[in-house]
Amino acid sequence: MSDRRSLADATTMRVGGEAQRWIEATTREAVAAAYAELLDDEYEPHLILGGGSNTVASSEPFDGTVLRVATRGIRTLAAAQPPRRPAGEEPPADDAVVLRVEAGESWDAVVAQAVDEGLAGLEALSGIPGSMGAAPIQNIGAYGQELSSTLVGIELLTLDRETDELVVRHVPAAELRLGYRDSAIKRGLLSGVVLSVDVRLRRTADRRSQPVAYQQLATALGVELGTRVPLEDVRASVLELRRSKGMVLSDDPDSVSAGSFFTNPIVSARFASGLPQEAPRWSVSPQPLATVLPLDADTPVPSLDRPVPQVKLSAAWLIEQSGIARGFSLPGSRAAVSSKHTLALTNRGGATGEQVAELARFVQARVENQFGVHLVPEPVLVGLRL
């Protein structure tokens, strides 16, 4: 289906101008036909859109085509079926199950179905808005889980450079080069349209989760880190935590956002040592082991091949400590920092994409001036620059 539609109507931030052309593709065949047409006109701007939860667009008209992938379907791959057992034999603690999910499915609906079926691996990712096809591009994560821990691979509709024809290629997770909110697709190393996503989950006999790996979630559940708890309890606690931060789509004005607007910066441990002692930080690379040397030994020269120890900082802490409070907005702007969480920028009603970008630039400048840390935006920016 092709018509004219505004990006503001299809994104959770509710900003964006009218697209010159809009294609809603509900079948794989429709996706392929539309994408082939877009590739034929290499000079026409185009945007591949899923749930619109990670897109912030200019309020100026989009002079091109928006292809929204709205395919549906979830199936269990035959090869992942549990093995047959003698009658009366108890199943093992868990069985691997691989789900193939079409790109247009709602991410949270998939998580909810997995929890209902006793499948562990996605429960801490409850409440994240958006579509399944966008998840591997961003390598979404929250509360101690990341998609990379369960992702098997994707089906990618891509152009074969040798034959100049569109092909469907299965791309294993390893080839996606998944990192912190990053992937080969996001970096432009792979191009195409995600058609489906394969995730490997565990069918647990006791319907319990993966070990809880995030302190805030463990505290909310009243358990120690590493504890396995009922899947339903993890989902309920995560949804409650996200609601308290305005991170679940609802009537809450703070939920009119693109979620976390900035990624948590990753810096060298040496750089982090110059920040205030109370600045939260988490190691993301192995620390070098201490070496005991005789008093008369020469000090060893550090190897250039040894990776530099890195730590992850809290973007929210940096923003708050730079003097930007919850609810902050620039004079005359309808864009504001969330009243619940400084990591989210919100549309208070009638904001333009340009106002959101202006606020983001202001936040970036305050943090960089105060701490020397450059905050990187998490959403895809369309027609906007920071």
Mark whether 260 is an active-site residue: yes
CA atoms within 13 A on the CB side of 21: 13
Strand-pair category, 344-347 with 335-337: antiparallel
| Domains annotated on the chain, with CATH | 2-69 (3.30.43.10), 74-80+93-244 (3.30.465.10), 255-290+305-382 (3.90.78.10)
| Residue among 24, 102, 123, 378 flagged as catalytic | 378
| Residue among 260, 281, 322, 366 flagged as catalytic | 260
pLDDT tens digits, one per residue of 135-185 = 999 999 999 999 999 999 999 999 998 899 999 999 999 999 999 999 999
Which residues is 204 bridged to in the sheet? 94
91, pLDDT greater than 90:
no
Distance between CA 334 and CA 307 in Å, rounded? 44
Check: CB of residue 170 under 8 Å from CB of residue 155.
yes
| Residue among 68, 181, 200, 208 flagged as catalytic | 181
Q: Name the one residue in this structure whose structure tokens are 């609906």.
A: 109
Mark whether 181 is an active-site residue: yes
CA atoms within 13 A on the CB side of 370: 18
CA atoms within 13 A on the CB side of 81: 7
90, pLDDT greater than 90:
no
Mark whether 303 is an active-site residue: no
pLDDT tens digits, one per residue of 47-82 = 999 999 999 999 999 999 999 999 999 999 864 444
* Global pTM value: 0.87
Q: How confident is the model at residue 43 (pLDDT cuts 50, 70, 90)?
A: confident
Give the CA distances from residue 367 to residues 2, 268, 311, 314, 362, in Å, rounded to whole numbers and listed in that order.
Answer: 43, 17, 17, 12, 9
Strand order in the sheet with 266-268: 266-268, 310-313, 281-283
Supply the Cα-derived Rg of the chain in whole angstroms. Answer: 23
Distance between CA 102 and CA 124 in Å, rounded? 21
